[in-house]
Each structure stands twice: as structure tokens, then as C-alpha cells.
Amino acid sequence: TKTISKCYVQVTGMTCASCVANIERNLRREDGIHSILVALMAGKAEVRYNPAVIHPSAIAELIRELGFGATVMENYGEGDGILELVVRGMTCASCVHKIESTLMKTNGVLYCSVALATNKAHIKYDPEIIGPRDVIQVIKDLGFTTSLVKKDRSASHLDHKQEIRQWKRSFVVSLVFCVPVMGLMIYMMVMDSQLSDAHAHHNMSNEEMEALHSSMVLEYQLLPGLSVMNFLSFLLCVPVQMFGGWHFYIQAYKALKHKTANMDVLIVLATSIAFVYSFVILLVAMAEKAKVNPVTFFDTPPMLFVFISLGRWLEHVAKGKTSEALARLISLQATEATIVTLGPDNVLLSEEQVDVELVQRGDIVKVIPGGKFPVDGRVIEGHSMVDESLITGEAMPVTKKPGNTVIAGSINQNGSLLISATHVGADTTLSQIVKLVEEAQTSKAPIQQFADKLSGYFVPSIVAVSVVTLFAWIIIGFVDFEIVEKYFLVTEVIIRFAFQASITVLCIACPCSLGLA
């Protein structure tokens, strides 16, 4: 018996199925090459050869002569097959021992661990020697029932519906309360400008000015120190702070718990400080029964939350779109396969329905008209038309006859086919496409990593700048009061102005392009 070795070659420059056929056809003719199998999406060829006749480097050279790039993949094993099973019918530790010891004696099983508490078995095997169906059969022969651990095929991790709903709700709540706040603010601004015009034209005294001011509806005091304007703003601000900002608070808390600062921390800081400061000022004014209504910042939080939650909502809608494409790809995969046993002259002896994960390379799979191909394979019997548009974009059905290759996920149309499985599980073209798209989504562009790194420093520095602003204006106010304006209660005005400046710094930094991008 001549020994057969196996090697893997990384092949670059293949563009379509005809490249694959070209390589396979030409290499099969060579002396010493037993069989060759090329995977287009993975870009690798698996070659079985006779080491006495040919070497892997020579095989790579043969592929290079055909016009492709080829390098031998050193110490690249096929990778052990891993099987997760649910085993029913185990009662005690001796059952566990019985299964484990029997499997470990089985040729091709490398490792096996069975947990009685969870009824699960974790098995590693060599796909060259043994397949998942053989392992399951061994366990069944011992008198236990077993089945595959069901994989989540629904791609639920790609579903952004919940986040989209959550941010949409957040946006709507903020918007409903923000519009009246903005209305009040604009009304106050218009009235203020009219007052200052009147002041400029009529040279009124400050007392008359105050009288005119307090005659405005919104400036009317419900309680000493509590004007209608401030009271309404407060009422409108509370729900936004509670419901509109709920998710921001959760995210910010999580970030701070892990000693990091993200955009949510900034947003929460700015809105909370504005809200708390305004609330405290109101309480102080009411306690002092102040005649002049204090200036509050109740308009800041609703407006900030509106813009940011709108941004988040749009972002998740966009993410949902890309993930939808991937989810649709995953849903193309067949879940079951019909495996047949053939006798001499391709006579059908038996057929059974199995889970698609249990199909092994070399199995004969029957695909009926209208059925999906569960694995990549080669037609061995039957003629049919196959719709491959989902994978290749080819609108017309493609004729398939013995010797042609078929792609998992494509749809058989009019004839029944028997195919021999060549690529199964994670090696099928469809699985490779899904894997590539997933990797593309999870990997970050270098500029994106840089932006993430920057925003890590960005938040603390903004907070620092804001604090510096606050103290700078307080110092300026006390040193040279002219700048802030001659008014009443010196300290209150200075602190209020300084505070306004520092809140502005925080708020402007919130919807920063860096964070949004």
C-alpha cells in the first residue's frame, strides 16, 4: 500500500468557479497527486499526494504555473472537528464514565467530556477518521438518546429592533417635551428684545422696567421666587430627564463603573448639572422670597436629549440595515439534508433525514426539486436546472449534470439530483461569505480605532476645560466686575455667568462630530 499524505496550499488570484475547475483538472493529471479539493471563498486547496513521488512545494509550483499565487500552509492541520451533544438517559456518574471510556477507545476521537448536570457532551474528533454521525451512533449503541445542541440559526444577535425601538421612544418623549420648552424660550427672547427696545427708546428707570417685566404673563410669580415660566420649564424638564435620559444614565453608570468615560458620561454630566443647578437656584429663590425671578437652564436637557437620541436612533437604523443583509444570508442555509446509501450501480438502498451539521464529507446527499442544497458538492447522478442567483447573482438557472459543482444555499429547480458532499459545515461557500461579512462588521478601520482612543481622552479633558472655565469666570468676575456687567447681587451674577459658560462648554462638546461619527 502506498502512503498518502495531505497538505494545504493557500491559493490567491482565483475569481470564480472556472478557476477552481481549472486548478483541479490540471493537478489531477499530475503523477503522485491522489485528489485535490479547492475552496474558492477560503482560498485554499487540500491536496492528497504520494510523498514518494511529489512534494508540497512542487504542488504549489504547479499551481503557480497556472497563473495563481500559491504558498504551502505549514503545519496547518484540518483542525479538529468539535461536536456538542445533548445526551438523555444518564442517571449517575457510571453512565458518564461508560460514555467517556467507550468514546475514548473509539478510533478518531481525540477528547471527550460529558457533564451529568447539564446532560451535555463535548467531543473533539479527527474528521479524517470519524464523523459526527458515527460518534452519535456509538452513544446510541450504549443505550442513550442523543441529539445535536441546537445552534441559533435565527441570527438574533444581528437584530437591532429592540435598540431601534428604545431610541425612537427616547427621541419621541424628549421631542414632545422639548417643543413647548423651545416655544417658551423663544417667547421670552422676543419679549426681552421688545423690553430692551422700549428701554432704549423711552429711557425708563429700572423700577418701571421691573414693573413692565413682571407684568408679563410668564414672569408672573405663582409663589414668591417661582415664576410661571420657571415652573412650566421645570414640569416639562422632569419627564425628559427621567424617561428620555434613562438609557443615557444606564450607559454612563456602566462606563464609570469600569473607570472609563464615554459620550454618555458627558451628556449625563451636562444635563444633570444644568437640571440640578436650576432646581437648587429655584429653591433658594423661593426660600429668599426673591422679587426677581432667577435665570434657570431647564431648556438645556430636553434639547440635548432630542438631538442625541435622534442621532442614536438613526445610527441603529443604519446598523440594522447592514445586519439585515447578513441575517438574510444566514437564513439561506438549509437546516436538514437527506443522506442516501447507494448500492452497486448507484441503486438507492436507504435514505435518512439528518441535521445539516451531521453531513460529512463524501456523503451522498439527495436534493429533490424545489429543495435547497445543504452543502457544497459535486453532482454524481441526475440532470437539473439550479437557481444560484442568491450566491452568484446569475439570474438564469444553471444546468447541472454529473461532474458539475453545486453551491450550498442555491435552489434545485426541476430534476432530482444526487450529490457527493465536498465542503460541509463551516467550509461551505455560504458559511465563508457569512464569516467574511461578519468579520468585516466586527473589525474596525484604523481611523475608527484612533477615534475611539481619542474619545477616551476627550471626555475627561472636556470636563476639565469646563471646570477651568467655571473658575476662570468666577476669578475674572471678582477681579474685574466690569466685564460681567454692573447689576445687583454681585456674587450670584458672577457665579451664574461663570456657570453658564462652563455648562456651554459641556453641552457643545456633547453632540461632537467625533462621538457621533
Residue type, 87: V
From first to last of its 517 residues, the chain has per-residue pLDDT tens of 568 888 889 998 888 778 888 898 999 999 999 989 888 877 889 899 999 999 999 999 999 999 999 999 876 655 667 888 999 988 888 889 999 999 999 998 988 999 888 889 999 988 878 888 889 999 999 999 998 887 655 555 666 788 888 889 888 988 888 888 888 888 877 877 777 777 677 666 666 666 555 556 667 777 777 888 888 888 888 888 888 888 888 888 887 887 777 777 878 888 888 888 888 888 888 887 777 777 777 887 888 888 888 888 887 887 777 777 777 777 888 888 999 998 888 788 888 898 888 888 889 999 999 999 999 999 999 999 999 887 788 889 999 999 899 999 899 998 999 999 988 887 888 888 888 877 776 666 777 677 767 767 777 888 888 889 888 888 877 777 666 555 545 666 777 788 778 877 877 776 555 555 5
pLDDT of residue 372: 92
pLDDT of residue 33: 92
Instruction: Name the nearest CA neighbour of 108 among 76, 85, 144, 137.
Output: 137
Measuring CA to CA, how many Å separate 233 from each of 229, 239, 280, 288, 507? 6, 11, 14, 21, 18
Instruction: List residues bridging with 49 in a β-sheet.
Output: 5, 33
pLDDT of residue 478: 76
**What nine digits make up the cell of 409?**
444555499
Query: What H or E segment, with its residue span, contains residue 125?
Result: strand 120-125
Q: CA neighbours within 13 Å on the CB side: how many for 483?
A: 12
**Which residue bears the cell 438613526?**
314
pLDDT of residue 510: 62
Burial 393-410 (b: 16+ CB within 10 A, else e): eeeebbebeeebbbbbbb
Q: CA neighbours within 13 Å on the CB side: how many for 48?
A: 8
CB 256, CB 265: distance < 8 Å: yes
Query: What H or E segment, with its residue span, contains residue 85?
Result: strand 81-88
**Which residue bears the cell 466690569?**
482
Residues contacting 5, CB < 8 A, separation 6+: 48, 49, 50, 51
Instruction: List residues bridging with 123 in a β-sheet.
Output: 83, 112
Q: How far apart are CA 244 and CA 169, in angstroms?
A: 8
DSSP conformation letters of 306-358: HHHHHHHHHHHHHHHHHHHHHHHHHHTS-SEEEEEEE-GGG-EEEEEEEEGGG
Residues contacting 465, CB < 8 A, separation 6+: 505
**What nine digits make up the cell of 449?**
480605532
Residues contacting 434, CB < 8 A, separation 6+: 326, 329, 330
Q: How far apart are CA 288 and CA 295, in angstroms?
A: 15
Residue type, 23: I
**What nine digits make up the cell of 245?**
435620559
Q: How far apart are CA 198 and CA 210, in angstroms?
A: 12
What is the 3-class SS of 343-354, one letter each residue?
CHHHCEEEEEEE
Strands (E), 41-128: 44-49, 69-73, 81-88, 109-115, 120-125
Q: How far apart are CA 109 and CA 124, in angstroms?
A: 6
Q: CA neighbours within 13 Å on the CB side: how many for 293?
A: 23
Q: CA neighbours within 13 Å on the CB side: how many for 508?
A: 9
Residues contacting 189, CB < 8 A, separation 6+: none
pLDDT of residue 63: 93
Residues contacting 444, CB < 8 A, separation 6+: 452
DSSP conformation letters of 397-416: -EEE-TT-EE-TT-EE-SS-
Q: How far apart are CA 355 and CA 147, in angstroms?
A: 9
Phi and psi, residue 5, nearest 5°: -105, 170
Instruction: Name the nearest CA neighbour of 335 among 372, 390, 378, 389.
Output: 372
Q: How far apart are CA 163 and CA 146, in angstroms?
A: 38
CB 65, CB 50: distance < 8 Å: no
State whether the Cα torsion 129-135-140-142 is positive or negative.
positive
